């Protein structure tokens, strides 16, 4: 792993002490103050709720420039990858650091196919979830269950073990995701097929039924590849940080991914794609499409309501993924001949947001979740599966981040500190019990 260069120093004065803290610089010239010696030298810790200013690691995987709206995986621009690659190629890129040569791609796809089935006993788990179970709950449970069915994959000492584990996880999570949907519908599950590509296979497991059959539509297969590529990684976001935090205690990869799925589920993170559609639907039905009223509600500080799919911690300009997602949404709906009033409403809402000083002054723009749900919806994917789709896309990113952390000699167990503000020492009196 390349290390960032170390140069100059920032000077910190505290009481009678003056210390020099090194500045480290990444390959894109981002800079950070290295505070590792801070507590030892001064007794101070840093206070940074939400880790807004905290770099937790050095990483070679994903680069984001939030001001310029740039996103690159392993140096490649997201637009180039989304336009020209299949999801499995991008998954390989994230995990291995380079795009696969044709033979490597073939071998990777073959591996993905050969590990796609779930252990028969695991399949029975699905029967014990209630029909109304959210598929994210099922998916997270299935991810951690893999550790009991495939414990031999817990060791990552050998690289070939890693490759084996990564393909298994990618493949089986896709199968588990489709099964969780079939279960929620009360339909018989559909097994994966070796003759189908990664995305076509997923769509087939979702939509094939004994009464109607199913032929994966090339428009949907292409769109799914693109959507999963857009989701594939986003450096130290909430769920990736959770995956790494859990992994830092030496918990196994499956447990770490399961925790990441739970983190992604939240509406402020990947769960936003489901909430965008629910919000648009409410605006259309209850507010009769009145976006002015909705904007006023979002700006009202006494109201916890926020516009879903708007704003981002890192992007202070248009999210580059949202740009691709917006264009794709238009193209896919046109190709499928779908007319969705929620798309017109979303565009109206976006225009109002971009023209409004509250959102403009806070650099709030549509994020990836604003348009992706509308495309999933046109493809027939039900709303409660949207975040599952995000999770399937994000798995290679989580794995790459987890592996990088494991290989980094500077990694330590994740363990932030705090400023205690509770009661000072009190006298204990037994009569209080």
- Give the whole-angstrom CA distance, residue 229 versus residue 227: 5
Binding ligand CMC (rule: CB under 6 A), the pick from 166, 310, 328, 391 is 310
Which residues, 285 to 304, sit near ligand CMC by CB under 6 A?
298
- The catalytic position among 234, 269, 312, 356 is 312
Alpha helices, H only, 20-154: 38-42, 78-84, 87-96, 102-114, 120-125, 135-149
Q: How far is the CB of 239 from ligand CMC (least distance, A)?
A: 8
Binding ligand CMC (rule: CB under 6 A), the pick from 272, 280, 325, 388 is 272
Q: How far is the CB of 173 from ligand CMC (least distance, A)?
A: 18
Q: Does 360 bind ligand CMC (CB under 6 A)?
A: no
* End-to-end Cα, the chain, rounded Å: 56
Q: How far is the CB of 291 from ligand CMC (least distance, A)?
A: 13
Binding ligand CMC (rule: CB under 6 A), the pick from 136, 230, 307, 379 is 307
Dihedral-angle region of residue 363 (phi above 0 means left; psi in -120 to 50 means alpha; beta otherwise): left
Binding ligand CMC (rule: CB under 6 A), the pick from 362, 407, 410, 416 is 362
Compare residues 177 and 272 and give the one whose CB is closer to ligand CMC: 272
Binding ligand CMC (rule: CB under 6 A), the pick from 86, 89, 233, 369 is 369
Compare residues 303 and 339 and give the one whose CB is closer to ligand CMC: 303
Q: Does 277 bind ligand CMC (CB under 6 A)?
A: no
CB 395 within 8 A of CB 402: no
**Under DSSP, is residue 342 helix (H, G, I), strand (E, B) or coil?**
helix
Binding ligand CMC (rule: CB under 6 A), the pick from 367, 372, 375, 387 is 367
User: Given strand 62-65, what is the order of strands in its sheet?
Assistant: 62-65, 70-73, 76-77
Compare residues 22 and 55 and give the one whose CB is closer to ligand CMC: 55
Which residues, 105 to 124, sit near ligand CMC by CB under 6 A?
none
CB 234 within 8 A of CB 400: no
Please confirm, yes or no, whether 369 is among the known catalytic residues. yes
DSSP letter string, 189-244: P----TTS-HHHHHHHHHH--TTT-----HHHHHHHHHHHHHHS--SS-HHHHHHH
Binding ligand CMC (rule: CB under 6 A), the pick from 228, 308, 325, 403 is 308
Contact region with ligand CMC (CB under 6 A), list: 213-221, 267-275, 331-339, 375-383: 267-275
260 phi and psi, to 5 degrees? -60, -40
- Give the whole-angstrom CA distance, residue 251 versus residue 244: 10
Nearest partner of 230 among 350, 363, 397, judged by Cα: 397
DSSP β-bridge partners for residue 76: 73
The token pair at 100 is: 């696969």
Compare residues 193 and 313 and give the one whose CB is closer to ligand CMC: 313
- Give the whole-angstrom CA distance, residue 386 versus residue 274: 6
3-state secondary structure 348-374: HHHHHHHCCHHHHHCCCCECHHHHHHH
Q: How far is the CB of 227 from ligand CMC (least distance, A)?
A: 13
Compare residues 135 and 311 and give the one whose CB is closer to ligand CMC: 311
The token pair at 122 is: 């695991």
Compare residues 64 and 141 and give the one whose CB is closer to ligand CMC: 64
Compare residues 66 and 414 and give the one whose CB is closer to ligand CMC: 66
Compare residues 110 and 360 and give the one whose CB is closer to ligand CMC: 360
Q: Nearest-CB residue to ligand CMC?
A: 311
- The catalytic position among 233, 319, 356, 369 is 369
Q: Does 313 bind ligand CMC (CB under 6 A)?
A: yes
| CB half-sphere exposure, 388, CA atoms < 13 A | 28
- Give the whole-angstrom CA distance, residue 370 versus residue 276: 6
Q: How many residues are present in the chain?
A: 433
Q: Does 262 bind ligand CMC (CB under 6 A)?
A: no
DSSP letter string, 256-287: HHHHHHHHHHSTTTTTHHHHHHHHHHHHHHTS
Binding ligand CMC (rule: CB under 6 A), the pick from 192, 216, 309, 397 is 309
Q: How far is the CB of 337 from ligand CMC (least distance, A)?
A: 29
Q: How far is the CB of 281 from ligand CMC (least distance, A)?
A: 16
Which residues, 230 to 259, sit near ligand CMC by CB under 6 A?
234, 237
DSSP β-bridge partners for residue 23: 7, 33
Q: Does 312 bind ligand CMC (CB under 6 A)?
A: yes
Q: How far is the CB of 48 from ligand CMC (least distance, A)?
A: 12
Q: Does 268 bind ligand CMC (CB under 6 A)?
A: yes
Q: Give catalytic residue positions.
A: 312, 369
Q: Which residues bind ligand CMC (CB under 6 A)?
A: 50, 234, 237, 268-270, 272, 298, 306-313, 362, 364, 367-369
């Amino acid at each position: 792993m390349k290390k960032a260069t170390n140069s100059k120093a920032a000077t910190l004065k505290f009481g009678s002490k003056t210390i020099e803290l090194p500045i480290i610089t990444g390959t894109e010239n981002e800079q950070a103050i290295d505070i590792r010696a801070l507590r030892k030298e001064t007794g101070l810790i840093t206070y940074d709720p939400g880790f807004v200013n905290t770099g937790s690691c050095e990483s070679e995987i994903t680069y984001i420039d939030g001001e310029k709206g740039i996103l690159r995986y392993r140096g490649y621009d997201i637009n180039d990858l989304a336009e020209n690659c299949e999801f499995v190629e991008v998954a390989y890129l994230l995990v291995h650091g380079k795009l696969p040569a044709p033979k490597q791609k073939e071998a990777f796809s073959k591996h993905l196919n050969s590990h796609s089935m779930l252990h028969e006993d695991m399949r029975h788990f699905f029967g014990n979830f209630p029909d109304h179970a959210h598929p994210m709950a099922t998916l997270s449970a299935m991810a951690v269950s893999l550790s009991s069915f495939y414990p031999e994959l817990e060791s990552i000492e050998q690289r070939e073990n890693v490759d084996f584990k990564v393909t298994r996880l990618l493949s089986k999570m896709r199968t588990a995701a489709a099964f969780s949907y079939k279960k929620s519908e009360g339909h018989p599950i559909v097994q994966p097929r070796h003759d189908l590509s990664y995305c076509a296979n997923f769509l087939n497991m979702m939509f094939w039924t004994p009464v109607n059959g199913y032929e994966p539509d090339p428009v949907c297969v292409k769109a799914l590849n693109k959507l999963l590529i857009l989701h594939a990684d986003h450096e130290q976001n909430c769920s990736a940080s959770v995956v790494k935090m859990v992994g830092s205690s030496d918990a196994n990869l499956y447990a770490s991914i399961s925790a990441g799925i739970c983190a992604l589920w939240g509406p402020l993170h990947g769960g936003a794609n489901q909430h965008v559609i629910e919000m648009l639907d409410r605006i259309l039905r209850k507010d009769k499409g009145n976006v002015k009223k909705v904007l006023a509600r979002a700006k009202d500080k006494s109201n916890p309501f926020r516009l879903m799919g708007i704003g981002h911690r890192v992007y202070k300009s248009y999210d580059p993924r949202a740009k691709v997602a917006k264009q794709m949404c238009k193209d896919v709906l046109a190709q499928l001949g779908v007319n969705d009033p929620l798309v017109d409403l979303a565009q109206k809402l976006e225009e109002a947001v971009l023209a409004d000083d509250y959102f403009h002054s806070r650099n709030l723009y549509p994020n990836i979740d604003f348009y992706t749900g509308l495309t999933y919806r046109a493809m027939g994917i039900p709303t409660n599966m949207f975040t599952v789709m995000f999770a399937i896309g994000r798995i290679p990113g989580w794995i790459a981040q987890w592996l990088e952390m494991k290989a980094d000699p500077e990694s330590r167990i994740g363990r932030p500190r705090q400023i205690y503000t509770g009661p000072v020492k009190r006298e204990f009196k037994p009569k209080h019990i």
